Amino acid sequence: MFSMKKKRRAGATETFSVSVDRKTKAILKARANRLYGGNMSRLITELGREAEKRDAFERLREWTGGSVLSDAAAEQIDRELAEGWRLARKHAKKSGPKSAA
């Protein structure tokens, strides 16, 4: 008797090798476990699709002339957000945990 190998669909997948440090590998494995039952291929596909979206956004941003915020305006927004979070944390400490009614 002879055994027949299952054929892959043409063009369905590509195999490649990457090298990462141990910490990055652990992070990727944990994410693959959490989201895809350990399927690293699905995780890499997700990361690739996210990269594709970022590239498209960058092309759109460049096409429209770049950011409309000056560096000074962006820094002011960042300061305001930081102050808002500081006040929210202060308020949360002061009021304490709420009990369910």
For 101, half-sphere exposure in the C-beta direction (CA atoms, 13 angstrom radius) is 0
The answer to whether 28 and 40 are in contact (CB under 8 A) is yes
| Average pLDDT for the chain | 87
The pLDDT score that the predictor gives to residue 92 is 85
Is pTM beyond 0.75 here? Answer: no
Same domain, 24 and 53: yes
Does some domain include residue 27?
A: yes
pLDDT value, residue 23: 97
Q: How far is CA 92 from the centre of its chain?
A: 29
For the record, the structure tokens of 101 come out as 């009614």
Note whether residue 78 is domain-resident: yes
What is the domain extent for residue 81?
68-94
When divided into structural domains, the chain yields a total of 2
**Alpha carbon distance 3, 5 (integer Å):** 6
- Here the tokens at position 20 are 């990462």
